[in-house]
Structure 1
Amino acid sequence: MPSNQTPDDELLRQFRQRLSEMSSEEIHGILHGVLDASGRAVRRPERPDLRHPPREEPALFTLRVDLEHASPPIWRRLELRSDLMLEEVHGILQTAFGWFDAHLWRFAAGGHPFDLESQLFLCPFDVEEGEDEGLPASQVRLDEVLSTSGDRLGYVYDYGDDWQLRLLLESVRPAGDGSPPARALSGRRAAPPEDCGGFTRAEDLAGVLPDPAHFDLAELQRSLELADLDPASYGASAVLTAVVTRLPPSPVREDLLARSLALATATDAPSAEEKRTALRGVSWFLDHAAGGGLPLTAAGYLKPADVESASRVVPEMTDWIGKNNREINAFPLLHFREALKHLKILRTFKGQLLPTRRARPAVEDPDALWSLLAQSLIPPPGSFAHDATVLLLAHIGSTPSGTAVEPQATPKALDRLGWRTREGGSVDRWRVRDLPAATVLRNITPEQDRRAVRGDWSDAARALAREALAQA
């Protein structure tokens, strides 16, 4: 022991070391023993099995769900099918209270979710860690833990903020054919927002919520319906569905499900002439590359005369500063050309730009070029570029004409999917803006202006985004 360290310091060090090796339930057990007047040693009891046999026929459970310690009370009354798995009930609770499924959670029967005497039903992370004794929530039905009126079930979400919910079974009735898994019946007051610090009192929530008294039953019911929606059942884009279904329950997921529905029912498409006009920037490169090739300088840039010519038709070059005769200084033009190469519309060969083999049949056919671009915008699955492009196309294609796309919408969804920069930070709007698909779509417009730079995508760009999602 160092000379400047007392015996008490050494005991404290050992205590902290032991504490760091304990599970959360063991810590709760020790605290319980410390406060026990009898001073009895804490033993880890065997957890009881409190489950009931599942019902032979599904029933509808009316549950009142209260947020513990809330003042005034914050609660929801829900009608749930009895054959839901607890993991599905977790998703419904996340929707009902407006949380994002970004933290750990668990259910408990017979006591508090951290009591040693209660039976635990764990989230996937806790199951994998194996520190707490419990069953996977994905393998236990709701009617195995709630059976008759008056039964209770505990739930905690976010072990830091410690949102504790108490589920009380109020009534049971038979489930009819086609009964939805969840229905909102009533409720009171807005739930605390994610990561607000554990606030449950109205005076504290007033600092983090616009209106702590707000509760909209119709809004909650719509959220539950969207959360349960199967996009494939109404012909939604398969590639968009694959991305959206990976999102945890949250307003972001609900918004994208609603957009999926809007995209599936959209029918408007530009005419061949409208396509020809909107595609003139792409066509300029394709036509010149097909007509003997576009020569490049030794440094790999377009020659000055071609830069000037292309700048007159590529929409993003409108009002660009400078003479626009050097591609290295004409950044929008350079990025547009590189994006067309990335989409395999153009290729470089022996110092020239040439059309790719797949692009040659579309040189003078606007319908064929339109279809080719739609097939080329989305990268292969399994990458950041794939997810970001799919989400961006969904936001562009589903936003009404003349309305700017919210620039943070796609970054927020990417954050919910878990994508981060190499430095560990959140993806920002500029990384989304630099996607090849975004660069191309900003230049799909019948007008020679730069509105798309501000997020006001043209109707043609919106239509191409929809077609890309439909074809993928």
Structure 2
Amino acid sequence: MTDRRHLRVVTNLESRPDLRHPRRDDAVVYRVRVDIDDADPPIWRRIDLRSDLTLDFVHQVLQVAFDWTDSHLHRFSLGGGAFDRDSQLFLCPYDVAEADFEDDGIPAAETRLDETLTATGDVLHYLYDYGDNWELTLRLEQVLPADGECAAAAVVGGEGAAPPEDCGHLVDAASLAEVLPDPARFEPDRINDALRGPYFVLREAKVDPRLVDLVQRLTYTAHGDSLSQAALALTEKHTPLEAADLIGHLRGFQWFLDRAADGGIPLTGAGYLKPADVMEASKVVPVMADWIGAKNREAHCYPLLQFREMLEDVGLLRKNKGQLLLTRAGQSAQRDVKALWEHLASRLNPKLGDEFHVQAGLVMLAYAAASPDAQLPLNTIAAILTELGWRHADGTPVTGSALRHLPAYEVLINVTDQPVTWRRRDLISPVAAALARRALGV
């Protein structure tokens, strides 16, 4: 990756200065002029930006405004250039994750625009593509009141077509004429249409930003439109669920919580449920509906065993001295079905963990939210994960069947008031779809 060759590790030097301003109490509109440095003739955009936007959002606005594709690294800086020692840096996710190249910066995703610009004339620098080195200057021209329906970003002026990706930092008229069909072309309406695209709609709806980033990364892939449409379904209005709507759909979860509340659930010496409990649990856990054979030994009832272990994984039950006991969260959930609902939602969306399980969980939740009374498209989810670079240990692509082992899948298919049979094993109930939406923050 050519971006990396221009990064250098800085050691044994003083920390960078903190040049940020306090955040504003109110949201206003910043009218900002953005110029590509050293372009002749000038190539610039005038953009109205809401002051409370984070810099990762501003980065995507700039990508659209200059017709770039977010294919390279970027960073913002205050007080100087992007590699000046006296500048304060605001970094893209790659630079944050790569400690060797971290450069004492702050994540752009955690920094608001109003922390960098406050008064007219203030300047923020932006560097895109550390190889071609597109250096841009953002200068605050006006501070305007924000209307109630104020757009997050809108282009209101500009001149010149932006240089295309990977053209080698061409900024003079003669060079640009060789790589652009019309160097003077500037289409604000087209740019503003793009600023109403999925990324911006999802961010404004406060959908989990990690899912939004995946949607953005997959824009130009075979399944990009599919994931985008699934995610956009999260922005639709839905009728809130009442406690009465949840009880029948959570009956398998509730049985275990009620049983554990009665002094705990005793286990056999081998660590399994006892036969009487296996028989009773099998009547209410949906995935046991068409299990063949006697339902009296947990070791021979794999779906029940997997369900029970999932309850431990999500922090509702814990093993202690040969018994299954309620955790503190389990105690609250046992008494209040809404507490059970909120706990499951919080655990479905992993905040930490290995990257595969985080990404697989986010994509699965997006499709589950968009699939009430429909089959969860596991093969599509697997193809997306493969597109993101994941493989099985032997190098083969991710398969849909492998995703049935994820805790999110186990929870979602058991949130139902219907039996889960072989033909219906991937069916997402409307309540399970609502749980997926809740897990994603909407």
Normalising by the smaller structure, the TM-score range is 0.5 to 0.7
**Where do 1:47-126 residues align within 5 Å?**
53=40, 55-58=42-45, 84=66, 87-88=69-70
Contact 1:362 1:368 in 2 (8 A): yes
**1:69-468 equivalence runs, <5 A:** 84=66, 87-88=69-70, 136-137=131-132, 139=134, 141-142=162-163, 144=170, 147=173, 151-153=177-179, 168-170=180-182, 172-176=184-188, 179-181=189-191, 226=197, 229=200, 231-247=202-218, 249-381=220-352, 383=354, 384-399=356-371, 401-450=372-421, 453-468=424-439
May I ask how many residue pairs the two structures share in their alignment? 305
Question: Are 1:339 and 1:437, in contact at CA under 8 Å, matched by a contact in 2?
Answer: no
What TM-score does the superposition give when structure 1 sets the normalisation length? 0.57
C-alpha displacement at 1:146, in angstroms?
8.1
Distance in 1 (CA, whole Å) between partners of 2:216 and 2:352 is: 14
Measure, in 2, the Cα distance between the counterparts of 1:289 and 1:54. 74
CA distance in 2, matches of 1:309, 1:426: 39
1:44-75 deviation per Cα after TM superposition (whole angstroms, max 9, x unaligned): xxxxxxx953625449xxxxxxxxxxxxxxxx
Task: Tell me by how many angstroms 1:448 deviates.
Answer: 2.8
Alpha-carbon distance between aligned partners in 1 of 2:357 and 2:327, rounded to the nearest angstrom: 22
Specify the code of the residue in structure 2 equivalent to 1:402. D
Q: 1:431 to 1:388 in 2, by over 3 A?
A: same
Q: Percent identity?
A: 35
**Structure 1 residue 424 displacement after superposition:** 2.0
* Matching residue's letter, 2:289: T
| 2:184 partner letter | V
Secondary structure in structure 2 of the residue aligned to 1:241: helix
| Residues 286 and 363, structure 1, Cα contact 8 Å, conserved in 2 | yes
Give unpaired runs (5+ residues) of structure 1. Answer: 1-50, 60-79, 91-123, 129-133, 154-167, 184-220
C-alpha distance after superposition, 1:75-116 (max 9, x if no partner): xxxxx99962655599xxxxxxxxxxxxxxxxxxxxxxxxxx
Superposed displacement of residue 348, structure 1? 0.4
Query: What is the alpha-carbon distance in structure 2 between the residues aligned to residue 136 and residue 368 of structure 1?
Result: 51
- Residue 307 of structure 1 and its aligned partner are, at CA, apart by 0.2
User: What is the CA–CA distance in structure 1 between the aligned matches of 2:435 and 2:245, rounded to whole Å?
Assistant: 12
- Aligned residue in 2 for 1:26: none
Q: Distance in 1 between matches of 2:215 and 2:370?
A: 14
Distance 1:294 1:276 in 2: 22
For residues 172 and 214 of structure 2, the distance between their equivalents in structure 1, rounded to whole angstroms, comes to 34
For 1:19-30, list aligned pairs within 5 A: none
Kindly provide the amino acid, as one letter, of the partner of residue 310 in structure 1: A
> For residue 66 of structure 2, what is the amino acid of its counterpart?
L
Q: What is the Cα deviation at residue 268 of structure 1?
A: 2.7
Give the whole-Å Cα distance in 1 for the aligned partners of 2:41 and 2:404. 51
How big is the shift at 1:330? Answer: 0.6
C-alpha displacement of 1:345: 1.0
Q: Deviations over 1:253-287 (max 9, x none)?
A: 33323322211224234321120110000000111
CA contact (8 A) 2:413 2:425 kept: no
Q: Deviations over 1:299-332 (max 9, x none)?
A: 0000000000000001110121011000011111
SS in 2 for 1:369: helix
- C-alpha contact (below 8 Å) 1:87/1:137 kept by paired residues: no
Which stretch of structure 1 is more off in the superposition, 262-271 or 441-450?
Answer: 262-271
Cα distance change, pair 137–56 in 1 and its aligned pair in 2 (3 A) = closer
Partners of 1:86 and 1:232 in 2: CA distance: 19
Q: CA deviation at 1:346?
A: 0.8
Amino acid across the alignment from 1:388: A
Q: In 1, Cα distance between the equivalents of 2:207 and 2:361?
A: 17
Q: Contact 2:199/2:215 (CA < 8 Å) preserved in 1?
A: no
CA drift of 1:462 comes to 0.9
TM score, norm. by length of structure 2: 0.61
Equivalent position SS for 2:339: helix
The structure-2 alpha-carbon separation of the partners of 1:292 and 1:84, relative to structure 1 and needing over 3 Å to count, comes to same
Partner of 1:211: none
Q: CA deviation at 1:431?
A: 1.8
Checking the alignment, whether the CA contact within 8 Å between 2:341 and 2:435 is kept in structure 1 is yes
CA displacement 1:327-372 (0-9 Å, x = unmatched): 0111110000011111111110110011111221121311111111
Say if 2:440 is the partner of 1:469.
Answer: yes
CA distance in 2, matches of 1:173, 1:81: 17
CA contact (8 A) 2:267 2:273 kept: yes
